Amino acid sequence: MNIPKTIGLPRMRNETGEKRVFLPEFVQYIASLGVNVFIEEGYGARSGYSFEDYKLASPIIHMASKEKAYQQDVVLILRSPKPDELKLMKPGGILFSMLHFHTRPLRVKRLLDAKIKAVSMDSIVNDVNIRLMENMRSVAWNGLEAAFDVLEKRWPGLVRPDKKPIQVLILGTGMVGKYAIDAAAKLGNIERNNDHIEAGGPGAIAISVGRNLSTNPTTMESLFNQADIMVDATQRRDSSKPVVPNEWIAWLPEHAVVVDLAVDPYTLDAEPPVVRGVEGIPQGNLDQYIFAADDSNWDKTIPPSVNSKNRRTSVTCYSWPGVHPEACMLHYAQQLEPFIEILFKKGYDGLSLEGDYFDRALYRATLKYFLDEQKLLV
Amino acid sequence: MTDQITIGLARMHYEFGERRDFLPNFVAMLGKLNAKVVLEYGYGSGMKFTEEDYLNHDQKITFVSHEEVYKQDYVLVLRCPSEDDLRLLKPGACIISMMHYPTRPNRVALLRSLEVESISLDSIKDDVGRRLVENLRMVAWNGLEVGFRVLLRTYPSPGVESPQRNPIQVTVLGVGAVGMHAVQAASHYGDMSLWNSMAKRGVPGIQVTALEYDLTRNEDYMKEILTKTDILVDSTQRPNASQAVIPNEWIAYMPEHAVLVDLSVDPYDCSVENREVKGIEGIPQGNLDQFVFAPDDPAFERIPECVSTVHRRYSVSCYSWPGIHPKECMDLYGKQIGPLIRTLLNKGAPGKINPKGKFFERALSRALLSNYEATNLT
């Protein structure tokens, strides 16, 4: 059994708005396990952290080049590295990241070709199939916060001209949809909600509809007509068809805000093709996640063949939790701690379903477990 | 404590309908941790388990009297025992149960006077404050399942199962932890198989409106909502339970066929100093013996006189909603409690639990009565 002894933390090379890095306290925690830590030069700089903030005089925390960070026994990085970065890893190296095996077949192939032992953070589940590393609450709350921010500019204090509560229509009743209801009813921000209550504001109501209503145009037209905010929190069975065809957008009031929490991409060349849940809205990221209807960037991420004629202000972000980077990484670090410990105690090959709680959960997130499961499905 | 730790599993002598006990595989797990396990006579019989069923999993289990169970080092029982039963505990013993410290000051004082330690299952939380032993999902799903079963009988022509009917309107008051599950459950009839069957037949779905209880200050708006509500769900967590969210006279606005679902299970108390009223005023408090109340049910007459019951609809209320499906409930609790008990028994005694130890130690530490006292004394 190979027990890893070193870990590399390379920078994420995504949009400039992506500021998330593991925090110094977490790196200190890893070092406290006796693991040599190699941090890529410049790590955390966008968030104001220097290497000294990470090192704190520890003799086993080192600054490293990008290549050296990727050459360690374990590579820890939140969003998946790009294909050319994967090539920097050594065969047998362990990649610990959000890898989304189920929806990224090309990535799985690359990992196998490079002989990388991968552990996908999004696949860590306990014995009753609850994800142990997730931040869906932030997906919903950050998305709704952005939407209410937009609406508040039009209606100071979030008071409609007719003084009625703001209506939020939420499509999808899964985990993200559940949090969206909570966030919608609290104006996307607890502090704002408390102020609003104190001021005697009318509040907001959340109307939630599942799949068996969202496919009914008559009902949806009546709901869209009244919605101030419309949220896509669906998990579609067939991602080749939108939940909200572009014509339906015309039913929304002009002031309405569309919130995209599903963040599926447009991938028209895939088989079957993938389209966004709400047809004709752009794909945002941490650099820009608010798009007015006349935004000059609207068309940049939308293939020409997609109907985007009807438009309302849309908030959309590939990485909603990254809107509040420190809170997000503090949350992930708390969730990650026991898994880092077990990984360095047992190594990738030592993980098993016969082990303890965290051992079992981490084993379910390995590439080998994913591949075994796929074989069973065939 | 003795060399071999002894653990007693007591039956819950509440209403006749309380059938829950820990399942044989969970009890066997305790034996494998080198604990001497004793069960109360009749343990599991509510779910049709015999002594043999338990012994087949672990031959060393013994069956003893109710009193004898309470003489063990640890006593595990889901719902908190009566005061009389607590008095059976020996000094230095540890009771593991849903103790609800913050709302049961008399219970805390009694345990302290008995020199007994306790671990409150409802206080076991992880580093980000999430309860590790909870079944809020079943609270919502079981309550809504029963609510829809009643609506199937009360709903006017063409009936709930007709493709010609309008979408069912469910209003959920309170969008906290239970409320979020309630929205999800409501949009699936509280029963996935019923939802599947309805969806296959093209029956219109369910529109769920969720609102925070603060919104209920606006009577005109509430009247508008209540007049079209088929199922009204109370899942509020009110800081001040002396005022109802829905005063009894508002129930008159609702259709005759409407069903009221009580998930909050707050009690009634007419005393001046501790006045408490249910979120929906005038519905009975149910339990596992009776959780469905027709408007002419005698239970309405037993509601304290300070509470108005003039306006009535079919009501569903149960102090222990998860107990409706006892095996599923105890299977989940067993899985949640398993790693915690393992940690506890491995440590040898509650006093050896390190508040800065590993994940489950930290979680257990937050639930110790001794730590609760310490926290509340400072």
pLDDT at position A236: 77
Q: Would you kindly state where each structural domain of chain B is located, as residue ranges?
A: 6-133+326-377, 136-323
Which among B289, B197, B185 is positioned nearest to B235, based on CA atoms? Answer: B185
φ and ψ at residue B251, rounded to 5 degrees: -60, -25
The CATH number fitting domain B136-323, selected from 3.40.630.10, 3.30.360.10, 3.40.50.720, 3.40.50.1980: 3.40.50.720
Structure tokens at A93: 């190296």
CB contacts, 8 Å: A187 with chain B:
none
Structure tokens at A106: 């090309």
CA distance readout (Å), A143 to A177, A255, A326, B294: 12, 17, 17, 43
CA dihedral A213, A215, A217, A219 (to 10 degrees): 0
* Chain mean pLDDT for chain B: 92
Say yes or no for a CB contact (<8 Å) between B335 and A128.
yes
**CA distance, residue A170 to nearest chain B CA (Å):** 10
Structure tokens at A78: 């939140």
**CA distance, residue A138 to nearest chain B CA (Å):** 14
pLDDT at position B378: 41
Question: Is-contact B293 B240, C-beta < 8 A?
Answer: no
Burial class (CB in 10 A: 0-12, 13-18, 19+), B350: buried
Distance CA B359, CA B341 (A): 13
Distance CA B211, CA A302 (A): 35
Q: Which residue of A has its CA nearest to B179?
A: A182
- Which own/partner contact pairs does B50-54 have at CB distance under 8 Å and 24+ positions apart? B53/B24, B54/B24, B54/B27, B54/B28
**Residues of B at the A interface (Cβ-Cβ below 8 Å)?**
126-128, 167, 175-176, 179-181, 183-184, 187-188, 195, 198-199, 203-212, 214-215, 218, 221, 332, 335, 338-339, 342, 358-360
| Tokens 């447009």 -> residue | A266
Q: Which CATH architecture has domain B6-133+326-377?
A: 3-Layer(aba) Sandwich (3.40)
Q: Which residue of A has its CA nearest to B221?
A: A164
**CA distance, residue A344 to nearest chain B CA (Å):** 15
pLDDT band at B374 (very low <50, low <70, confident <90, very high): low
CB contacts, 8 Å: A165 with chain B:
211, 215, 218, 221
Question: Is-contact B116 B95, C-beta < 8 A?
Answer: yes
Q: Would you kindly state where each structural domain of chain A is located, as residue ranges?
A: 6-123+325-377, 136-322
Which of B199, B210, B339 lies nearest to residue A206, judging by beta carbons? B210
CB contacts, 8 Å: B203 with chain A:
212
**Residue B332 pLDDT exceeds 80:** yes
Distance CA A204, CA B116 (A): 47
Please tell me chain B's helix, strand, coil percentages from 3-state DSSP, rounded to the nearest 5: 40, 15, 45
Question: Would you tell me how many other CB atoms lie within 10 Å of the CB of residue A50?
Answer: 12
φ and ψ at residue B146, rounded to 5 degrees: -70, -40
| Tokens 């050319």 -> residue | A84
pLDDT in tens, chain A (378 residues): 589 999 999 999 888 888 899 999 999 999 999 999 999 999 999 889 999 999 998 999 999 999 999 999 999 999 999 999 999 999 999 999 999 898 788 899 999 999 999 999 999 999 888 899 999 999 999 999 999 999 999 999 999 999 999 999 999 988 899 999 999 999 999 999 999 989 999 999 999 998 878 788 999 999 999 999 999 999 877 778 889 999 999 999 999 999 999 877 777 776 777 788 899 999 999 999 999 999 999 999 898 889 999 999 999 998 999 999 999 999 999 999 999 999 999 999 999 999 999 999 999 999 999 999 888 765
Structure tokens at B304: 């304290």
Select the residue from B138, B187, B224 to test the A interface by mutation, using most A Cβ atoms within 10 A: B187
Residue type, A8: G
Say yes or no for a CB contact (<8 Å) between B183 and A181.
yes
- The ipTM estimated for the assembled molecules is 0.79
Which of B195, B210, B342 lies nearest to residue A185, judging by beta carbons? B210
Strand partners, B246: B280
**CA distance, residue B137 to nearest chain A CA (Å):** 12
Superfamily of the domain at A6-123+325-377 = NAD(P)-binding Rossmann-like Domain (3.40.50.720)
Say yes or no for a CB contact (<8 Å) between A216 and B205.
yes
A-B CB pairs within 8 A amount to 111
Farthest-apart Cα atoms in chain B, separation: 69
Question: Would you tell me how many other CB atoms lie within 10 Å of the CB of residue A171?
Answer: 26
Is the fold of B6-133+326-377 the same as that of B136-323? yes
CB contacts, 8 Å: A208 with chain B:
183, 187, 207-210
Let me know the angle formed at the C-alpha of B163 by B162 and B169, rounded to the nearest 5 degrees: 80
**CA distance, residue A301 to nearest chain B CA (Å):** 33
Burial class (CB in 10 A: 0-12, 13-18, 19+), A312: buried
Which among B93, B64, B86, B117 is positioned nearest to B1, based on CA atoms? Answer: B93
Q: Is B376 helix (H, G, I), strand (E, B) or coil?
A: helix
Residue type, B358: K
Say yes or no for a CB contact (<8 Å) between B211 and A173.
no
Structure tokens at B120: 């409150």
Distance CA A91, CA A36 (A): 19
Compute the average pLDDT of residues B295-321.
95
Fold adopted by A136-322: Rossmann fold (3.40.50)
pLDDT at position B1: 47
pLDDT digits over B245-301, tens only? 999 999 999 999 999 999 987 788 888 777 888 999 999 999 999 999 999 999 999
Q: Which DSSP string corresponds to B121-147?
A: GGG-B-TTS-BSS--HHHHHHHHHHHH
CB contacts, 8 Å: A206 with chain B:
175, 183, 209-211
CB contacts, 8 Å: B358 with chain A:
338
pLDDT at position B3: 72
Angle (deg, nearest 10), helices B369-377 and B105-113: 110
Question: Is-contact A11 A40, C-beta < 8 A?
Answer: yes
Say yes or no for a CB contact (<8 Å) between A209 and B208.
yes
Structure tokens at B110: 């009694």
Say yes or no for a CB contact (<8 Å) between A212 and B211.
no
Say yes or no for a CB contact (<8 Å) between A182 and B176.
yes
| Tokens 């992930």 -> residue | A332
Let me know the angle formed at the C-alpha of B212 by A203 and A217, rounded to the nearest 5 degrees: 75
The residue ranking higher by pLDDT, B269 or B169, is B169
Say yes or no for a CB contact (<8 Å) between B175 and A206.
yes
Distance CA A38, CA B143 (A): 52
Q: Which DSSP string corresponds to A288-356?
A: --EE-TT-TTGGGGS-TTS---S--EEEE-TTGGGGSHHHHHHHHHHHHHHHHHHHHHHHHHH--TTS-
CB contacts, 8 Å: A205 with chain B:
209-211, 215
Structure tokens at B324: 């409706």
Sign of the dihedral defined by the CA atoms of residues A169, A172, A178, A180, in that order? negative
Select the residue from A33, A129, A173 to test the B interface by mutation, using most B Cβ atoms within 10 A: A173
Distance CA A230, CA A207 (A): 10
- Which own/partner contact pairs does B352-360 have at CB distance under 8 Å and 24+ positions apart? B358/A338, B359/A337, B359/A338, B359/A358, B359/B126, B359/B127, B360/A357
Farthest-apart Cα atoms in chain A, separation: 68
The radius of gyration of chain B's CA atoms, rounded to the nearest angstrom, is: 22
Say yes or no for a CB contact (<8 Å) between B195 and A178.
no
Which of B175, B184, B203 lies nearest to residue A173, judging by beta carbons? B184
Say yes or no for a CB contact (<8 Å) between B175 and A182.
yes
Strand partners, A168: A206, A229
Say yes or no for a CB contact (<8 Å) between B221 and A164.
yes
Q: Which residue of B has its CA nearest to A165?
A: B215
Entry pTM: 0.85
Identify the helix (H) or strand (E) that includes residue B74. strand B74-79
